[in-house]
Amino acid sequence: MSAADRRRRPALARLGLILGGACLLAACQQRETRPTPRLADLEAAAGAPVKQFRLDHPLWSWEAIDRDHLLVYTKPGQAWLLDVPGCTALPFASAIAITSQLDQVTVGYDRVITGRRDFPCIITRIRPLDPRRLPAAQPRPQASMASPES
C-alpha cells in the first residue's frame, strides 16, 4: 500500500461516516406521520377554525394526540383541538402551559409550553370541538396543569 493510499483511507472513512449520518438524519426527517384513529375522530368532531378562544385557568383537562395536535378541555363539555406542528416534546409531556393575553388564546401568537428546556410550540390553528360527537368518553381531569406566565 502506498503512502497516498494510507492518507486517503481515513478521509474516505470520515466521508462514509458523514454520508451515513446524513442518510440517517434524512430518514428520520422524512418519517411519514399518519393520522391516528383518535385524530380522525377528533377532526370529524371539530368545527371550522377560529382565531381565538377564551381560556379560564386552570384547564380542566388536556390530551396530547401526537406531536402536532393537542386536545384541550377548558371545562367539561367545551373542548378545542389545537394544531402545534413539530411540537416534539408534546407526546412525552407530563404537564403543559398555554400562554394567553387577557384570557384569550390566539392563533399565531400564543404557544404551548411543554417544559423548561423545550421550545414553546406555536399554535397555528384552533378548532372548536363538540365532545358529544366523539365516540370515546371525555377524559378525566388531569392534575398536571402548569399555570402559564402571561
pLDDT digits (tens, 9 = 90+) for 97-137: 999 999 999 999 999 999 888 899 999 999 999 888 877 55
The answer to whether residue 59 sits within a structural domain is yes
Give 2 or 118, the one with higher predicted confidence.
Answer: 118
Instruction: Calculate the alpha carbon distances from 131 to 42, 52, 53, 77, 145 in Å.
Output: 9, 19, 16, 6, 20
Tell me the whole-structure pTM to 2 decimals. 0.70
Q: At a CB cut-off of 8 Å and minimum separation 6, what does 126 contact?
A: 49, 50, 51, 52, 53, 80, 81, 82, 83, 105, 107
The mean pLDDT of 10-24, rounded to a whole number, is: 53
42 in the same domain as 82: yes
Domain match, 16 and 52 both? no
Q: What is the pLDDT of residues 39-60, one digit of tens each?
A: 999 999 999 999 999 998 788 9
Note whether 49 and 121 are same-domain residues. Answer: yes
Owner of C-alpha cell 365516540: 135
Which domain covers residue 121, as residue numbers? 37-133
Average of per-residue pLDDT across 5-26: 55
pLDDT at position 127, please? 98
What is the amino acid identity at position 68?
Answer: D
Reduced DSSP (H G I as helix, E B as strand, rest coil) percent helix, strand, coil of the chain, to 5? 30, 30, 45
- Asked if residue 146 belongs to a domain, the reply is no
Residue 122 domain-assigned (yes or no):
yes
